[in-house]
Structure 1
Amino acid sequence: MEAGNLLGFIPLNQPPQRLVRSPRFSAFPRTVTVTLTVNASLSSQGENRYKGPRPGREWIADWVSNNDDLVRSLPIYVGGLSLLAVLFNRTVSGIAPVADASSSQSRADLLTLGLAVTNILNGLVWLSIRPKSISLVNPNGVECQRIASHLPDFVISELLWAWNSLSDVTCCRSLVIVYDGKCILQTGFAAASLSNGSDAVVVDTNKLIEGSLYLGVLKSALQSYLANLSLYPGKSQLPFLPSNTQAVILQPLGDKGMAIIGGDTIRGFTSDDQVWITLIGEKLDATLTKVI
């Protein structure tokens, strides 16, 4: 008998699939269709076109981001040209090549040479220090989907809706929901069991709810975002997540539970995602309160 049956979970034959990410409002085709129809109608008539202010573009920021190597090397070019210009000016002006402290021209040249060398050194620093590139990773684990068997069908449907929504439009790859001291949902990627590599690690709710992460989130009643999970010692309290989970959101569900959302990218959850997850948490709490 599988571990999922022993714990009261319903094993599903089909593992959850990673959906193609689409715009946030793709779940409302009716609204989009109406909007496109209206816009097409207005465009065909050539009237009532929007003439108000439009969002501005940061041209300088876009140019810098698209020409990163050139911008980092620019101080070296400026400093080198300044150095050559000072030497050329001193050569053609007939001034003695030896610096004379009593000469204002020599003092100005020395100051210019110092600035040119500073530019060159600054360019070398910019080239040697680069921000670490951030990319998504493939979770090291197995796919699973376990749902508590005692839940009504409408609650199961809402739990699966939450999972599909999160995995569709965010970097979410794992979702665990603990409510009233029980794990009612574990889906997505999970850590592989040491005894059987094809099975997912079962969530030990007793150990989880005694940990500082769980207690801290419930006490504050606020969402906790671990943007880079590898930097947090509390990672050891989430052994059921894949070992290379990059980011985690701990979303309280009222005062009786918590949703644990694992992502595949460092700082992959945007501020809009966090607000949206908070609203989903409130909706799940309102539904679960009715049956648990």
Structure 2
Amino acid sequence: MEAGRILQIGIPWITWRSPPRLPNFPRYICASSIQRGSYKGPKPGRDWIADWVSKNDDAVRSMPIYVGGASLLAVLFNRAISGIAPVADASSSQSRADLLTLGLAVTNVLTGLVWLSIRPKSITPVEPQGVECQEIYSLLPESVVSEILWVWESLSAVTCCKSLVIVYDCQCIVQIGVAAKSLNIDEPFAVDAAKLMQGSLYQGVLKSGAQSYMANLSLYPGRSELPFLPSNTQ
């Protein structure tokens, strides 16, 4: 009778070997070894049609007129040489086709006239009519004031921004740049933060949660809500 078993587990011996040495690569790359123009990645595409249209805007807008006029002449010429009576006959398929072609030709001519009448308005830069001001809330920390001044200098240097107004927590903390003149001579028009926040402009931005871009301020209904901006602000 076998009382028990003894398990013998063989543990293999592992022989450690030193890793092979890697070749010594240079730790720096000379700038002269990089060839210019060696970039082989994807190149940005270019829309040739859009470029041609932007360069020939007048010709593109007039093209429907030329197409419509040529279509009218072609229909009249075909009507003259086909031997059909000049009076339209509803029972004739040729007359119905000519009427349809005439309608399309007239539509092209009218489309060209509309395209020529509607053009993007070019805005000419103007000098703001107002007074220079730099009103900053006195309780702001110096670090915040320096950041605001840096932002204003950056905006005025790289963009056409002429006025900057910041309203925070029902308080106008910054009014800098060109401002409208108040009733007192050579004094800027003060910003009424409470009245501004009750206007439709602020309420609309608050509800939508997105910025409001006003392409033409003179036609905007809420122009009266921004009396502190120069009178000729575009």
Q: TM-score, normalised by structure 1?
A: 0.56
Q: Which of 31, 37, 57 is matched with 1:68 structurally?
A: 57
Pair 1:225-2:212 in alignment: yes
Deviation at 1:240, TM superposition (A): 1.9
Deviation at 1:195, TM superposition (A): 1.9
Identity %: 67
- Aligned-partner SS, 1:242: coil
Which one has a larger percent strand, Structure 1 or Structure 2?
Answer: 1
> Who is 1:243 aligned against?
231
Supply the RMSD in Å over aligned alpha carbons: 3.4
Instruction: Tell me the amino acid that sits aligned with residue 170 of structure 1.
Output: T
Give the distance between the partners of 1:86 and 1:134, measured in 2 at CA.
43
- Aligned-partner SS, 2:51: helix
Question: How many residue pairs were aligned?
Answer: 203
Pair 1:79-2:68 in alignment: yes
1:115-264 paired onto structure 2 within 5 Å: 115-179=104-168, 182-196=171-185, 198-205=186-193, 207-208=195-196, 211-212=198-199, 216=203, 222=209, 224-227=211-214, 228-246=216-234
> Who is 1:9 aligned against?
none
Give the distance between the partners of 1:71 and 1:128, measured in 2 at CA.
13
Deviation at 1:101, TM superposition (A): 4.0
Report which of the two structures shows the higher radius of gyration computed on alpha carbons. Answer: 2
Deviation at 1:110, TM superposition (A): 2.8
Give the distance between the partners of 2:199 and 2:114, measured in 1 at CA.
41
Give the distance between the partners of 1:100 and 1:65, measured in 2 at CA.
45
Which stretches in structure 2 are left out of the alignment for 5+ residues?
Answer: 1-30
Instruction: Tell me the amino acid that sits aligned with residue 73 of structure 1.
Output: S
Give the distance between the partners of 1:102 and 1:216, measured in 2 at CA.
63
Give the distance between the partners of 2:32 and 2:201, measured in 1 at CA.
53
Structure 2 contact 205–211 (Cα < 8 Å) conserved: no
Which one has a larger percent helix, Structure 1 or Structure 2?
Answer: 1
